[in-house]
Amino acid sequence: MARYKVILAYDGTDYAGFQRQAARVSIQQEVEAALRSIGWKGRAILASGRTDSGVHASGQVISFDLSWKHGEQALLHALNANLPEAITAQQITIAPDDFHPRYDAIARDYGYQIYCQPVRQPLKQRYAWRVWPAPDIILMNLAAQDLIGEHDFVAFGKALKPEGTTMRNVHQAEWKIAPDGCTFHIQANAFLYHMVRRIVYVLVQIGLGKQDVTIVRRGLETGDTGLVALAPAQGLMLQCVYYKA
């Protein structure tokens, strides 16, 4: 018996998020079904975090215990052979017996993609939010700098547990120009529920001239921005989870 660490990529469009659901199919259910087909007897896999319905990942991390005698590469092929096309194990390695993908993580990267076109583009719509007219990336980056550092982010999300802290430490937050829009990269030690999507929505409102650039700072100071909307799920991707070497 060994504990395996898996880097997982998936298109979340047709799934009810990562976590197992009673009435709708989730990423977790698909992965566990694939594992059972190759002899896994566990109750539940472990994951670095829960992505929302419609959110994608290129670097989700999961782990599980399995008796397997054929090597990591053979396990990778066997798992992928039983997964649907929208989900793929990118890499499998043996981890320490006490490895936990969530509690051992020291940082996480998310990306958010926006495309700026006057009409909807079906080939982009699954993976990006259409915003028109194009928001001002200079204003968005100016406001994003206020996110960096350790703050109480209660204005931008909820703790996963009722007694959980809303303090988080954001390491990086930056917009970059893309060929047909812009992309947002944010890294933090951890994220609150809906934190990235709420941040993106607020920053885009600033970029469109609908909110003042100081609203982020006010939200961090007072715990409220006055805005409760979220950026659409399809633009968001969990890109990487970091661990100590």
Q: Which residues are catalytic?
A: 52
What is the C-alpha separation between 245 and 240, in angstroms, rounded? 15
- Residue 65, C-beta contacts closer than 8 angstroms, at least 6 positions apart: 1, 2, 3, 4, 42
What is the C-alpha separation between 186 and 173, in angstroms, rounded? 4
Neighbours of 197 (CB within 10 A): 23
Q: Which residue has the tokens 């092929």?
A: 77
Q: Enter the tokens of residue 199.
A: 């941040």
Which residue spans within the chain are E strands per DSSP? 2-10, 46-47, 56-66, 87-95, 105-115, 129-130, 149-152, 167-178, 181-188, 236-243
Q: Enter the tokens of residue 68.
A: 């397997």
